[in-house]
Structure 1
Amino acid sequence: MSIINMEVSTFSDLSVVTPKAEPFIKWAGGKQALLAQILPHFPKSFERYYEPFIGGGSVFFALNHHKAFVNDENEWLIDTYKAIRDNYVGVVRELDKLTNTREDFLRIRAIDPRSISLEKRAAQFIYLNKTCFRGLFRVNKKGQFNVPYGEYQRRYYAVENLAAAANALKKVEFTVGDFEKCLIGITSNDFVYFDPPYFKLGGYSDFNRYTAGQFREAEHLRLASLCNELDAEGIRWAVSNSDTPFIREIFKGFRFENIKARREINLKSQDRNVNELLILNY
């Protein structure tokens, strides 16, 4: 039974910590269902783990590495991880104040997260993620969250899982910004996993509006160039991306592993089964 679906009836259960956390938010392109295909390809050992596009954190939580450097361009997301790490009890208290109605959803969605405390900011991030349509995180060009209400009646969180997440996140150093930012100081003893917004396939699978800016062809080319530089320095890396001629071309010469995925974000059920790539330089 997944810990995220476990019922927690009382606030006194906050002292319970699970051995390993699972993602506490839903994220487009999340890797929870693909871990069994991805993780066996990772190196057996490395000193430090780097993940420049943390998203929902499926791979990070599954690895539970002793030392990790985590980054994302979405500042609200990173603030949520920090709040869980530093005071998940406070986040839970704020979550318990939020009610799942259309009126409250729209009111909370309109709040500028930068105007409230870190704990409230995290609670509202989780709340919006669990009550909005399809669990998307999407913003407009001004960086404002704009996903409609989802009409879902489900629990926002599991206390045990947030406690476990807080424990796992204590091993992390966070940065916010461009994907190259968190790689300063990386060595050949370390390992980096890149899970960027995927290169376009067409239709709803092209979701990449996590921040006011978007991850376009130029960014994919820059990521491929960085991977070539890391390879020249003997630094091991893995990249997840869509299986397209463009991605195969810019990563030509590296190893490709096929990953079978299902993307529920696509509104057409027949288009939800897709082939992805795991690209490796070792």
Structure 2
Amino acid sequence: MIKSPLRYPGGKSRGIAEIAARFPTRFDEYREPMVGGGSVFCHVRQAFPEVQCWINDLNHDLVYFWQATQADADALATELHRIRDTEPDGRALFDRLKATDKETMSPFERATRFFVLNRITFSGTIEAGGYSQGAFAGRFTHSAIERVRALSPLLAGVRITHGDYAPLLFGEGESVFVFLDPPYLTATSSKLYGAKGHLHTGFDHERFAELLAKCPHNYLVTYDDAPVLRERFAAEHLHGWSLQYGMNNYKQAGAAIGAELMISSYAPEGITTVPLPETNPKRAQFALALETKLPYPACEPSP
């Protein structure tokens, strides 16, 4: 099974089986408006190879990565190998990439920059994170780079776009299934996505709920398990579950276990619905938790 090479805050690589068990029985098109690290997308492409796919994200550099990999994964992997072989000083590499004006770079260069920073920062937080020597030594490896090359067949014929999630909710289509993994409500202080976390803290959860209510297609959402979300989506099909995250606080030896909520517009077949357990407030605030004060300089906002 080909897996995503990206480290992504809140990524669902460890929850694929639980998520896939709640997919609709049949769908002809798969859309992921907030594709992020793409773990669920990679699973869909291999489990349902005949299904058309449309992936999207608001993070432009992330989209450049997916597009560059689709266009020429070999060229991207070759350049990444070159950087790994010629850059022995991870801190200097990090500082140089962070200081570079992205607006002067080509889409291919921005894709390359994105992947390198994804592999050498704390938990892959790119613009919102800081340099990690451990990640440089153990995550930015030739084997990790080869996983970029392996993505090539999965991206053939896939529509990849940059922008708001709404067009994927309302675009016409038959037997469409939409999977959404929005920024989590109880972890907004963590500022995980974008420069200074603007793609996280700026997410409008109320707009998201309102648009979902109007979506004409089958959808499945993974959210954090919080009382306000259970109340807001009470009319939908809800399922509480737990997920161990791959990212962790820089002071922690291991990653937290999060209380999750799956919300679907349909009743998954073959699954018995059971009452949701009472929410543990502390657990719901597992906060994909980075400290608000990190031991490195704050990132500059992107242009």
What's the TM-score bracket when you normalise by the shorter of the two chains?
Answer: 0.7 to 0.9
SS, match of residue 200 in structure 1: helix
> Aligned match of 1:118 in 107, 114, 123?
107
Q: CA deviation at 1:281?
A: 1.2
Aligned to 1:248: 230
- The within-5 A match list for 1:139-154 is 139=128, 147-152=129-134, 153-154=137-138
The offset of 1:244, in angstroms, is 0.5
Letter matched to residue 209 of structure 1: Y
CA distance in 2, matches of 1:61, 1:106: 31
2:248 corresponds to which letter in structure 1? I
Aligned to 1:238: 220
Matched, 1:169 2:169: no
Provide the rounded CA distance (Å) in 2 between the counterparts of 1:218 and 1:161. 31
Partner of 2:259: 275
> What does residue 130 of structure 1 align with?
119
Q: What displacement does 1:207 show?
A: 4.0
Q: What percentage of aligned pairs have identical amino acids?
A: 27
The question of whether the paired residues in 2 share the 8 Å contact of 1:94 and 1:120 is answered with: no
Q: TM-score, normalised by structure 2?
A: 0.75
Deviation at 1:82, TM superposition (A): 0.5
**Which of these residues, 188, 206, 209, is aligned with residue 193 of structure 2?**
209
Among 200, 210, 226, the residue aligned to 1:225: 210
Q: 1:191 to 1:202 in 2, by over 3 A?
A: closer
Checking the alignment, whether the CA contact within 8 Å between 1:193 and 1:238 is kept in structure 2 is yes
Partners of 2:239 and 2:213 in 1: how far apart?
18
Deviation at 1:217, TM superposition (A): 8.4
Give unmatched runs, 5+ long, in structure 1: 1-19, 140-146
**Secondary structure in structure 2 of the residue aligned to 1:129:** helix
From 30, 49, 52, the counterpart of 2:11: 30
Cα 1:96–1:216 change in 2 (3 A) is closer
Any idea what SS the aligned residue of 1:94 has? helix
* Pair 1:50-2:35 in alignment: no
- Helix, strand or coil for the counterpart of 1:38? helix
The answer as to 2:248 corresponding to 1:265 is: yes
> Compared with structure 1, are the counterparts of its residues 124 and 270 closer, same or farther at alpha carbon in structure 2 (3 Å cutoff)?
closer
TM-score for the superposition, normalised by structure 1: 0.81
Q: Partners in 2 of 1:42 and 1:184 — Cα distance? A: 19
Equivalent residue letter for 1:210: G
Q: Runs of 5+ in structure 2 lacking a partner?
A: 267-303
Q: CA offset at residue 242 of structure 1? A: 0.5
C-alpha contact (below 8 Å) 2:239/2:262 kept by paired residues:
yes
Deviation string for 1:78-125 (max 9, x for gaps)?
001000110112112221232252112211221123322333222221
Quick check: 77-86 or 252-261, which moved more?
A: 252-261
**8 Å CA contact retained: 1:79, 1:121:** yes
Output the CA distance in 2 between the equivalents of 1:150 and 1:238: 34
| Pair 1:107–1:160, CA change in 2 (3 A) | closer
> How far did residue 46 of structure 1 move?
0.4
> Is residue 184 of structure 2 the alignment partner of residue 187 of structure 1?
no
